[in-house]
Amino acid sequence: MSQSIPLDSLGRSPVNAVPGPGAAPRAELTIRGLIIGIVITLVFTAANVFFGLKAGLTFATSIPAAVISMAILRAMKNATIQENNIVQTVASAAGTLSSIIFVMPGLIMVGWWTGFPFWVSFGICASGGILGVMYTIPLRRALVTDSDLPYPEGVACAEVLKVGSGEAAEASGAASVEGGTSGLMAVVVGSVVAAVFYIVVQTKIFASDVAQYFRIGDRGSASGYDFSLSFALFAVGHLVGLWVGLAMLLGAVIGWGWAVPHFTLLHPATGDVSDVAQGAWSHYVRFVGAGTIGVAAIWTLAKLVKPVVSGLSSAMAASRVRKAGKAATLPRTEQDMPIGIVGLIVLVCMLPIAWLLGNFSVVSGLGSHTTLLVIGGVLFVLILSFLVSTVCGYMAGLIGSSNSPLSGIGILVVIIAALLLVAGVKSDLPADSGKALVAFALFITSVVFAVAAIANNNLQDLKTGQLVDATPWRQQVALVIGVIAGAIVIPPVLDLLNHAYGFLGAPGVDPAHALPAPQAGLISALAQGVIQNNIDWSLIRIGALIGVGIIVLDEILARTSKSVRMPPLAVGLGIYLPTSTTLMIVVGAVVGWYFDKRADRTPKAEATKQLGVLLASGMIVGESIIGVVVAAIVVFSGKSSPLGLVGDSFENASIWIGGIAFAAVIFAMYRWISRLGQKS
């Protein structure tokens, strides 16, 4: 990474100082850039949908997209840093709009949908996503230009773009690997290795996981563990860092070291020990985790209320002062999409949203309240979406998009929606209308969540653009294009995965092969609990108490240590997610920490660590994309294991072979990336 460069009053480096109003424009919003960005968006969106349903996490796509686009555009003539920025801006929709999977599969889980109708699903994603872009446009000057928010991911992406274009090297004399062939090699090798390993796992020569379930004592108590041999999960651990990984480990210990044995003891069951343990986790422990996640999310949001209010107030005041003395013509780098067009697009987006809400209310049997549901729903989306856009934009600027508690936003929105439905229409409906109300709550939450997801990342992109001398309105157009591209691919990929695997908790789905979709399961369970009052609130209370305890522990650590933390949301996820997801993330976090510590003792520490990040990003992309391909083969072949080459009798051998191969490949890749970093 380059050494620090002095910034001007707007946070820009002298290299990228704002030109005057008459400055000559550079190639930026080009057809080839849009095409490259759309292709990357389609690929990364499919990968993020699959991976998010499997792991409960999505990965940021801006930096991998920037590396890939730089490698492509450098082979072409007249490529600019601003054109590269447009490519990553379009592709960033893949990492954000894909978060709709945290809510929308809930409609399958509650048994309302059996698939994802394309135009309805597209309408939710596209209208909500475009609203997310529009709502953050008037916030750009307040939260980006006139703000001192750090925007860690936006700044990091800008640095990658600068070193790729040579600007950072010109400014500081430093060299880096992100924009060169080393960075691309790291992404490609990680992708290929992860994809090949996943294919071998599908042949059953390598086991998919190393698991064991066992009885504890002679009173029927049970527990177990499951290490998924997944390069994608391992890579997530590398990216989230040591303390998030250890927090998830603590959650897994609480869930499987205490909660599963406790509830299997309280509710004895016969049958295979793995079924008994998984049953206790599914019926009891998940809701304990929900309580922990809910309290942690509310606490995280509460901590941000004061900085959100004070930050917006001071930024708006500074903006008014600036506006009073500015020239009539804005410089190119301060030109947003005209506010009149923004308002018009917001109103236009409300039309399909109103139609979607009206159509859903009619087909769900709530037709007698269609007018109230449509008018109230549009106002709900209009107002709450702007509020969550402001909060999400500020949170992303403060702690980064990846660390922003987006699932907490979904939890609060669905609870508010469910409470309003109970207060407004439930008393006038037949007793059997509860399921329809749950579905409507999830439906309208999906729209607001799409807005929140885009807003959570949009300002990061605009911060990147500010630092690389981009034109804001061109970036805003690129984001809309990325949203539409993502909205096209999300419904068919969701439908494909639903038919191939199904979602855990959905009617008639085999839990052994189902995708966990943890956030969607949690949010749908909370909607059911509020509307139908059929949830065991004592489990939520236990989880909430655990969450309070973790919050106290984290605050103590924050005051006594500079680096040691215990993020409450991560602990909650560790309780809520199956060990097949959490334990390999923990392994990746520990290995990634050890890799970075060793890199710090080398001459090119930052370059080596950045290559490790790109390698991990490649692992996620490779496994996720091939996972979608295998899902398609499952659907079209009609076989659950179409690539299987060996039978169940080979299972014990496959565990040893797969486990040893996994460890050996990890060791070889990290050794290679360390040497590559020192040569860069």
Amino acid at 370: T
- Packing angle of the helix pair 434-467, 518-532 (nearest 10 deg): 140
- Dump pLDDT digits (tens) for 115-144: 899 999 999 999 999 998 988 887 777 777
599 pLDDT exceeds 80?
A: yes
pLDDT for position 323:
56
Q: How confident is the model at residue 670 (pLDDT cuts 50, 70, 90)?
A: very high
Classify residue 232 by its DSSP letter.
H
pTM over the 0.85 mark: no
Residue 172 has pLDDT above 70, yes or no: no
Reply yes or no on whether the pLDDT at 668 is more than 90: yes
Say what the pLDDT of residue 13 is.
36
Among residues 46, 37, 38, the alpha carbon closest in space to that of 629 is found at 46
Most confident of the ranges 38-52, 487-501, 522-536:
487-501
Measured distance CA(482)–CA(503) in Å, rounded: 27
Q: What is the 3-state secondary structure (H, E, C) of 614-639?
A: HHHHHHHHHHHHHHHHHHHHHHHHCC
Task: Fill in the amino acid letter for 108.
Answer: I
SS3 (DSSP) at 521: helix
* Per-residue pLDDT at 1 exceeds 60: no
At 316 the pLDDT is 57
Percentage helix, strand, coil for the chain under 3-state DSSP, each rounded to 5? 75, 5, 25
Q: Which two tokens stand for residue 200?
A: 């071998």
In angstroms, the CA 100 to CA 520 distance is 9
Which of the two residues, 328 and 352, has the higher pLDDT score? 352
Question: For residue 19, is pLDDT > 60?
Answer: no
Q: What is the average pLDDT value for the chain, to the nearest integer?
A: 80
Q: pLDDT confidence of 561, banded at 50, 70, 90?
A: confident
Which of 105-109, 139-143, 171-175, 243-247 is predicted least confidently? 171-175
* List of E strands, 151-218: 209-216
Q: According to the model, what pLDDT value does residue 291 have?
A: 84
How wide is the angle at C-alpha 59 spanned by C-alphas 54 and 65, nearest 5°?
A: 135
pLDDT the model gives residue 3: 31
Highest mean pLDDT range out of 176-180, 456-460, 634-638? 456-460
Instruction: Give every CB contact of residue 25 below 8 A, 6+ residues apart in sequence.
Output: 332, 471
Which of these ranges, 27-41, 110-124, 158-172, has the smallest mean pLDDT?
Answer: 158-172
Alpha carbons 376 and 371: distance in angstroms, whole number: 8
Identify the three-state secondary structure at position 147.
coil
pLDDT at 622: 81
pLDDT for 328 equals 45
- pLDDT of 615 higher than 70: yes
- Confidence tier at 431 by pLDDT (50, 70, 90): low
Q: What is the CA radius of gyration of the chain?
A: 25
The pLDDT assigned to 86 comes to 86
**3-class secondary-structure state, position 468:** coil
Question: Picking from 460-464, 632-636, 656-660, which range would have the lowest pLDDT averaged per residue?
Answer: 632-636
| DSSP secondary structure letter of residue 75 | T
Tell me which amino acid residue 28 is. Answer: E
Question: Tens digit of pLDDT for each residue in 520-559?
Answer: 888 888 888 888 777 788 888 999 999 999 999 999 998 8
Take residue 319 and report the two structure tokens written for it: 């903006």
pLDDT at 165: 62
Decide: 90 and 40 in contact? Cβ < 8 Å.
Answer: yes
Region of poorest pLDDT, from 76-80, 86-90, 233-237, 349-353: 76-80
Strand, coil or helix: 407 = helix
**432-460 pLDDT tens trace:** 677 888 889 999 999 999 988 888 778 88
Q: With beta carbons less than 8 A apart as the criterion, state whether 389 and 139 touch.
A: yes
**CA–CA distance, 553 with 541 (Å, rounded to integer):** 18
Distance CA 350, CA 305 (A): 28
Does the pLDDT of residue 179 top 50, yes or no?
A: no
Let me know: does 473 contact 108? Beta carbons within 8 Å: no
More confident residue, 210 or 391: 210
